[in-house]
């Protein structure tokens, strides 16, 4: 990632993954300046949120227009290396699998070329009112298919 791209959300031309730059702040770390393990979940949630926004599906439109929300059903995470205070990270998100009512999302937390965290998130599409599984909206399914 070039230094000029730090403040932009990007999809690298040679990669399909959406990438969100995130700076590690003091509040994200322990007294030794190491990012808390649970903070990576917040970073990944932000990346998924912005990824959907970049695809044209803001959370409000998913709720108000499509009448759906996504809930995390399961998460598998592997911590490889620690992120530290003031690091510039890039958190990726891309659809690995699209089912009728679920999306499996592959995510990474990167510091430069180094992979710090690998995660697989299974999100289920549910009705905004019922909270019961429903089909992923066709327009979103179409957009996700173009980027997977």
Single pTM value for the model = 0.86
User: If 0-12 CB within 10 Å is exposed, 13-18 middle and 19+ buried, where does residue 143 land?
Assistant: middle
Examine the pLDDT at 5 and tell me if it is beyond 80.
no
pLDDT digits 0-9 by tens, 40-84: 999 999 999 999 999 999 999 999 999 999 999 999 999 999 999
Domain ranges of the chain: 3-146
pLDDT tops 80 at residue 93: yes
Q: For residues 28, 71, 108 and 78, what is the CA-based torsion angle, rounded to 10 degrees?
A: 80
Q: Residue 15's pLDDT band (boundaries 50, 70, 90)?
A: low
CATH architecture assignment, domain 3-146: Roll (3.10)
Per-residue confidence at 145, pLDDT binned at 50, 70, 90? confident
Q: Which of 3-7, 73-77, 124-128 has the lowest mean pLDDT?
A: 3-7
pLDDT of residue 148: 57
Among all residues, which ones are annotated catalytic? Answer: 30
Give the mean pLDDT of the chain: 90
3-state secondary structure 3-37: HHHCCCCEECCCCCCEEEEEECCHHHECCCCEECC
What integer is the mean pLDDT of 123-129? 97
Task: Give the contacts of 21 (CB within 8 A, at least 6 positions apart).
Answer: 1, 5, 6, 7, 8, 9, 88, 89, 90
């Amino acid at each position: 990632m070039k230094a000029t791209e730090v403040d932009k959300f990007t999809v690298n031309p040679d990669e399909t993954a959406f990438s969100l730059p995130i700076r590690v702040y003091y509040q994200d770390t322990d007294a030794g300046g190491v990012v808390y393990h649970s903070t990576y979940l917040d970073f990944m949630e932000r990346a998924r949120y912005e990824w959907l926004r970049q695809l044209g599906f803001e959370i409000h439109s998913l709720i108000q227009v499509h009448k759906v929300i996504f809930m995390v059903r399961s998460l598998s995470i592997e911590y490889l290396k620690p992120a530290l205070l003031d690091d510039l990270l890039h958190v990726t998100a891309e659809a690995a699998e699209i089912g009728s009512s679920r999306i499996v999302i592959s995510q990474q937390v990167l510091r430069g070329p180094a992979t710090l965290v690998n995660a697989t998130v299974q999100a289920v599409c549910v009705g905004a009112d019922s909270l019961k599984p429903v089909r992923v909206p066709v327009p979103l399914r179409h957009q996700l298919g173009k980027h997977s």
